[in-house]
Amino acid sequence: MTDKRDIAREIARRYCTLTPKGIDVLTDMLVPIKVSKGERLMKEGDVCKYMYYVERGMVRQFYYKGGRDVTEHFSYEGRIVICIESFLKQQPSRLIVEALENSVVYGIPYDVLTELVDTDKEIERLYRKILEHALISSQEHADSQRFENATERYMRLLKTKPEIVLRAPMVHVASFLQMTPETLSRVRAAHVE
């Protein structure tokens, strides 16, 4: 595992510059968590008590609908995963977070974070930037589902987040792109060079 201070610096680099004091505050609140492939960070019905920063590995967020498992989001190195409604309301979530690889994540606890947001302007700004990033990412994905055909969705994913195509099981990639594995296979075959 990497030093917590290095993780705090990396989070600040990605989301919002912090002073050395801000780095210290963030370092103190980080909770390192190791998860094995197939292990769940969150189960359906759990309350999301952490924002998770992925240091190493890949996780996915999914839910069950009509007996099928539907992938909503992937996170890998340098990215945050959060069940945003559950986190903000501190109510049970229908979403599940599962490790697709052996992973190391760092939790930012809800209770510590929300207490600091009221007293620390840097942490408040970091929190806002992380939430903005999560909301924009969610909106971009929703717009892709609404306005793009299967080929366009796949090509966008390949261009913007190739790690997902390279590392995640294709059945989950297909679900994320709202297509059947067979459709994904045809789309991929048409774009092999």
pLDDT in tens, 45-97: 999 999 999 999 999 999 999 989 999 999 999 999 999 999 999 999 999 99
pLDDT score, position 1: 57
pLDDT score, position 192: 66
pLDDT score, position 73: 95
**Residue-wise burial string across 169-180, b where 16 or more C-beta atoms lie within 10 A, e elsewhere:** eeebbbbbbebe
Element (H, E) at 173: helix 170-176
* For the chain, domain boundaries: 4-121
Angstrom distance (rounded) from CA 49 to CA 47? 6
**Residue 191: closest CA among 143, 153, 160:** 153
Name the stretches of the chain with pLDDT < 50: none
**Residue 115: closest CA among 44, 29, 14, 190:** 29
Strand duo 58-65 + 68-76: pairing: antiparallel
Q: Is 92:85 a contact under the CB 8 Å cutoff?
A: no
Alpha helices in 52-109 (DSSP H): 84-89
For CA atoms 70, 31, 12, 91, the dihedral sign is positive
CATH topology for 4-121 is Jelly Rolls (2.60.120)
The single-letter code of the amino acid at 99 is: A
**Residue 69: closest CA among 181, 189, 162, 159:** 181
φ, ψ for residue 108, nearest 5 deg: -110, 105
Number of neighbours of residue 152 by Cβ within 10 angstroms: 12
